[in-house]
Amino acid sequence: MNLGQMIKLARIRLRDKTPPYLWDDDDLTEFANSSVSEAVMRTRMLQTQHIQALPAGVEGITLPFTVLEPQGALFLDHSGSSFNAGSFTVGRWYLISTPGTTDFTLIGATDSIAGTVFRATGVGVGTGVATLCNETPLLPMSQGDYFSARAYLRATPTRPTHYIRGYLANTLIIYPPPKDAGTLVLVIRRLTTEADEMVMELDEPVIPSEFHRDLVYWMLAEAYQVHDSDKIDAGAAARYEAQFDARFGKKVSARAEVQGRRTVIGSDVKPQVFGGSIRQSYKY
């Protein structure tokens, strides 16, 4: 469903199909975006990729607060061999060194600028050159294991091997710290952002389509909580919120969410597929 269809369905259930409307489109759009955010917060269903540059010697990094929990990590260094367009290996990570005439956006990159890291989706054509990245999957480790093994880890080569949830919310420890600058690729569960909000009638929610119709329950609950004698209906609001709860789970309290962000990473984290690209500055 798109935003226009969600608003139409909400109006049918609100018995508000004829102008002048009790609830205007702007209000229902706000309720629709609130519904998506609430569903994502409760289910943590929005999984995506977060990629950022990792400077040499840096152990701790801060993640955006939209990141709920990391699911897997990959460290890339840029010390591999150079390859010409036409000889890239699909599925491998590269750093663009010389764009040339190659349109790297056709093979997985976000742009064709030197310094962009990308996962190749094709062999490429043209005169572009890219450096093959060395890939190291990072293993999850609990904070307890990290402290007990720290002396051992310090004696190992300074290429990262593990990632650990940091001491503060939304921080991550990469250990050992990288000797040389590289790129960190994370598979994460995240919250919605402003970029995910629906503003046009044909925009669709960022969650899977099988849940779109259920989002209308929250829209109705919000609509019936408007403090206006013609709109407010506490009983109807409670009924529709209960239907939303049945589909997406109970509302998460702020206290529980803060505690959840502090939870250490356990050994049950499963490997994930990595793909995407990022532009970063890099000295050759």
60 domain-assigned: yes
- For residue 260, the model assigns a pLDDT of 60
Distance CA 207, CA 31 (A): 16
Residues 29 and 67 in one domain: no
Residues 9 and 96 in one domain: no
258 domain-assigned: no
Residues 62 and 172 in one domain: yes
106 domain-assigned: yes
Residues 136 and 174 in one domain: yes
Which of 266, 11, 17 has the alpha carbon at shortest distance from 163?
A: 266
How are beta strands 129-132 and 116-119 bridged, if at all? unpaired
Residues 7 and 42 in one domain: yes
Residues 64 and 14 in one domain: no
Query: How many domains is the chain partitioned into structurally?
Result: 2
Q: What's phi and psi for 254, nearest 5 deg?
A: -60, -40
Residues 6+ apart with CB under 8 A from 235: none
Residues 172 and 197 in one domain: no
DSSP three-state, residue 6: helix
Q: What's phi and psi for 275, nearest 5 deg?
A: -165, 150
Residues 55 and 168 in one domain: yes
74 domain-assigned: yes
Distance CA 266, CA 158 (A): 23
Which portions of the chain are predicted below pLDDT 50?
Answer: 264-284
| Domain, as residue range, for 84 | 48-191+263-279
| Beta strand extents in 99-177 (DSSP E only) | 116-119, 129-132, 134-141, 162-165, 171-175
145 domain-assigned: yes
146 domain-assigned: yes
15 domain-assigned: yes
149 domain-assigned: yes
What is the Cβ-side half-sphere exposure of residue 75, based on CA atoms within 13 angstroms?
Answer: 27
Both tokens assigned to 277: 């690209």
Distance CA 263, CA 221 (A): 32
**128 neighbors 98 (Cβ within 8 angstroms):** yes
Residues 132 and 272 in one domain: yes
- For residue 264, the model assigns a pLDDT of 41
- For residue 281, the model assigns a pLDDT of 36
- For residue 171, the model assigns a pLDDT of 87
Residues 227 and 243 in one domain: yes
Residues 77 and 155 in one domain: yes
**84 neighbors 101 (Cβ within 8 angstroms):** no
DSSP three-state, residue 33: helix
DSSP three-state, residue 214: helix
Residues 139 and 129 in one domain: yes
Q: What's phi and psi for 62, nearest 5 deg?
A: -105, 130
pLDDT tens digits along 138-169: 999 888 777 776 666 555 567 898 898 887 77
Tell me whether residue 149 is exposed, middle or buried, using C-beta atoms within 10 angstroms of its C-beta: 0 to 12, 13 to 18, 19 or more.
middle
